[in-house]
Amino acid sequence: MGLARAALRCVMQKLILISHLSPGDLVMLTAAVRDLHRCYPGRFLTDVRTGSPELWIHNPHLVPLEVDDPAVRLLPCHYPLIRLSNERPVHFLHGFIDYLNQALDLRIRLTRLAGDIHLSEAEKSLPSVVEQKTGLNLPYWIIVGGGKLDLTIKWWHFRRWQAVVDQFRGRILFAQVGEKHHYHPPLDGVLDLRGQTPMRELIRLVYHAQGVVCPVTALMHLAAAVEVPPGRAPDRPCVVVAGGREPATWEAYPSHRFLHTIGQFPCCANGGCWRSRTVPLGDGDDKDEPGALCVDVVNQLPRCMDSITPGMVAGQIEHCIRDLGLDLLAPDQARAVTPWLHRGTQAALRALMCGYFSAPSAGSEDEPAGVESNNQPQRTTVWATMTSS
Amino acid sequence: MNTLPPDSSRPGEVDDPRSRPDFRPEHYPLANGHGAPPVGAMERNDRITLEFLAVYYDLNCDYAQLLEVRQRPPSPERVGAERTCLQTIEKGLIARDRLEDHYASLGVLTDPIAREGFTRDLKIHFGNVDAAGRRRRDYYTLTAYVPIPLPEGASLKHVPMKIEGPGFDGEY
């Protein structure tokens, strides 16, 4: 039997798939590898050379292959299908599959509308990152309040993210994540995990999360790709602030609340605009070229993103909670986690100077104290200014 | 239509408090632990820094005024003066928030380092440069010295390897 297996391995085609794209793109590649093997079992031995190698840990479809093995085919992977994303109803998950079909003359089909991320039983049995940090076993949502610096057009304003957090103060614990060298303004009243979640811990954080709220970013792909703990709804809720950059058909997952504006404005009337930046960043990147800039900026945001209000996002989260019966924080849990929540230096400065906090909520311990004049919450005043146009 | 934030690189746009006759240097914060850019600096990030420092300077002065008022004996006049000071501070905070909103699309992040209510230093990060102040997409040269010890008694000519690279003429 061993000889037969060895003989079979000799005729199986050896592939090393290569890509140094961003983590979100690589989640798509995991789907392509999965479906290559599902559609052509026993035909291929596959390995990868990618950024974010932690995405591939415990992946059952990979075997160690050597780059200098003459029998190995090195295959840099791309997804040219994206050029047809405004014309055909294809999803991002089809991107690498389509490329492999072209490169290898195959007919791989997408078998599941999600990536393929695996956790070991040992990983799943570990306490959540939130519990490891706070010592409290609490339900939580993940929030991404910023984004990468190359595609600033995807950014929603940080005060809008803050308004969403404030809407659920005492009811939902938000864990804010984001890479240290990207743009992630600190949000008040969240568990600040920015720069503290290497990829494997991020995957585990997603595993235990009740839901995810984010722009179009790797977190939405991980929200779909990472399995859900037993006893929960099969699809992890995710609310995505998308705007008009990407076609909904290309990016959205069926179970996600994908807030897009495709068809609402002239610049995304016929599909995603695929522009890169809101305004020039001045970093020497060719994404500052006029052809890559947003053509309709309002309140320092693309109009499509400006049209998405915190109320819309909060409303979708409320729907997820109600429809799926998600766990919320109990009052004693909300009190217990309060010392762990991030209180930004801006809010602290305001409190120190004026003796009160901004954005108080009814019944909050942070109600203004001792100041009778100008009790209008600062952020509400600014928000009203932003939406007055 | 895409528009850039108002160009703050035009001379005279920044109301630099250091140019005011009543300037109080003890209330002017540092920028990233160092002195502020010079008055009239033209580079965009410097001018954004000066705008934020001016706002925090005014906040520090307003807060100093509030503390002075609170030293006065209790009286209706003191309550009125305190209310006025707090309203002035609130306006300053609104101005600070508006500045943050204005430059958010450039990836500008600010973090005031305060002591006893006064901002002493302002950490400010920009989306177009890294922590060392280099433009993110500029090319730059890295040099590394990697010592590789040879076995005792061996010399380079006995090592079966080829050394290539700019600056190396094949002789070693």
What is the interface pTM, i.e. ipTM, of the complex? 0.82
Of A152, A299, A353, the CB nearest to B117: A353
CB < 8 Å to A181, chain B: 130-131
Give the pLDDT mean for A221-235. Answer: 96
Residue A306 pLDDT more than 90?
A: yes
Q: How confident is the model at residue B171 (pLDDT cuts 50, 70, 90)?
A: low
Is B112 near chain A, with CB under 8 Å? yes
Average pLDDT over chain A, rounded to whole?
Answer: 89
Band of the pLDDT at A8, cuts 50, 70, 90?
low
Task: Map residue A32 onto helix, strand or coil.
Answer: helix
Report the alpha-carbon distance of residue A115 to residue A112 in Å, rounded: 8
Question: Residue B167's pLDDT is what?
Answer: 55
Mean pLDDT of A256-270: 97
Residue A210 near residue A168 (C-beta atoms within 8 A): no
Residue of B nearest to A152 (CA): B105
B-chain residues near A295 (CB < 8 A): 1-2
Nearby residues of A277 by Cβ (< 8 Å), 6 or more positions away: A151, A152, A153, A287, A288, A292, A293, A294
pLDDT band at A7 (very low <50, low <70, confident <90, very high): low
* Residue A220 structure tokens: 């939405």
Residue A101's CB is within 10 A of a number of other CB atoms, namely 18
Grade residue B163 by pLDDT with cuts at 50, 70 and 90.
low
Give the start-to-end residue ranges of the domains of chain A: 2-104, 126-324, 343-386
User: Cα separation of B32 and B134, whole Å?
Assistant: 15
Q: Which of B3, B105, B129 sits opposite A152 (nearest CB)?
A: B105
Give the position of tokens 């305060």: B114
Q: What is the pTM of this model?
A: 0.85
Q: Is B15 an interface residue toward A (CB < 8 Å)?
A: no
Q: So what's the architecture of A126-324 in CATH?
A: 3-Layer(aba) Sandwich (3.40)
Among the partner residues B93, B102, B138, nearest to A300 by beta-carbon distance: B102
Residue B112, min C-alpha distance to chain A (Å):
6
Judging by DSSP bridges, how do beta strands A301-302 and A257-260 pair with one another? Answer: unpaired
pLDDT exceeds 70 at position A268: yes
Does residue A383 carry a pLDDT above 60?
Answer: no
Phi, psi at B114, each rounded to 5°: -110, 145
When pLDDT is averaged across residues B146-170 and rounded to a whole number, the result is 71
Better-scored residue on pLDDT, A364 or A182: A182
Rg (CA), chain A: 23
Q: Is B41 on the interface with A (CB under 8 A)?
A: no
With an 8 Å Cβ cutoff, are A297 and B136 in contact? no
Which residues, in sequence order, are bridge partners of residue A18? Answer: A49, A76
Measured between alpha carbons, how far is A184 from A175 in angstroms, rounded to an integer?
A: 13
Question: What's the confidence (pLDDT) of residue A79?
Answer: 98
Q: How much is the pLDDT for A361?
A: 35
B89-129: per-residue pLDDT in tens?
A: 999 999 999 999 999 999 999 999 999 899 999 999 999 98
Interface probe, candidates A283, A345, A378, chain B, greatest B C-beta count within 10 A: A283
Instruction: Show residues of chain A in contact with B113, CB under 8 Å.
Output: 345
CB contact under 8 A, B101 and A386: yes
Hey, what are B11's tokens? 């001379």
Tell me: pLDDT of A334 over 60: yes
- For A278, the closest of B83, B105, B130 (CB atoms) is B105
Q: Give the mean model confidence (pLDDT) for residues A99-106.
A: 98
Strands A141-143 and A211-215: parallel
**Of the candidates A258, A238, A159, A219, the residue with the CA atom closest to the CA atom of residue A22:** A219
B137 CB neighbours in chain A (<8 A) are: 283-285
User: In chain A, whose CA is at the least distance from the CA of B119?
Assistant: A349
d(CA A9, CA B10): 69
- pLDDT tens for A66-83 read 999 999 999 999 999 999
pLDDT at residue A345 in the model: 75
Give the model's pLDDT for residue B166: 56
Q: Which of A157, A181, A349 sits opposite B112 (nearest CB)?
A: A349
- Tell me: pLDDT of A380 over 60: no
Mean pLDDT computed over A137-159: 97
Nearest to B107 among A149, A301, A382 (CB): A149
Average pLDDT over residues A231-251: 96
Percent of chain A with pLDDT over 70: 89
Q: Is the pLDDT of residue B86 over 90?
A: yes
pLDDT of residue A1: 54
Predicted confidence at residue A216, as pLDDT, reads 98
- Residue predicted with more confidence, B45 or A344: B45
Say if B81 is an interface residue toward chain A (CB within 8 Å): no
Q: Check residue B141 and give its pLDDT.
A: 63
B75 touches chain A (CB under 8 A): no
Q: State the pLDDT confidence band at B8, using cuts at 50, 70 and 90.
A: very low
DSSP state of A77: -
Map chain B to HEC letters: CCCCCCCCCCCCCCCCHHHCCCCCHHHCCEECCECCCCCCCCCHHHHHHHHHHHHHHHHHHHHHHHHHHHCCCCCHHHHHHHHHHHHHHHHHHHHHHHHHHHHHHHCCEEEEEEECCEEEEEEEECCCECCCCCECCCCCCCCCCCCCCCCCCCCHHHCCCCCCCCCCCCCC
Gap between the Cα atoms of B111 and A159, Å rounded:
15
Q: Are A378 and B93 within 8 A, CB to CB?
A: yes
Decide if B127 and A149 are in contact by the 8 Å CB cutoff. Answer: yes
* Closest to A100 measured CA to CA, from A199, A195, A194, A29: A29
Q: Which of A281, A293, A371 sits opposite B128 (nearest CB)?
A: A281
Confidence of residue B139 (pLDDT cuts 50, 70, 90): low
Cβ within 8 Å, pair B105-A149:
no
pLDDT of residue B142: 67
Q: Which of A10-19, A47-56, A138-147, A233-242 has the lowest mean pLDDT?
A: A10-19
Scanning the structure block, which residue is given the tokens 């007055």?
A388
Q: How confident is the model at residue B3 (pLDDT cuts 50, 70, 90)?
A: very low
As a whole number of angstroms, the distance between CA A224 and CA A229 comes to 13
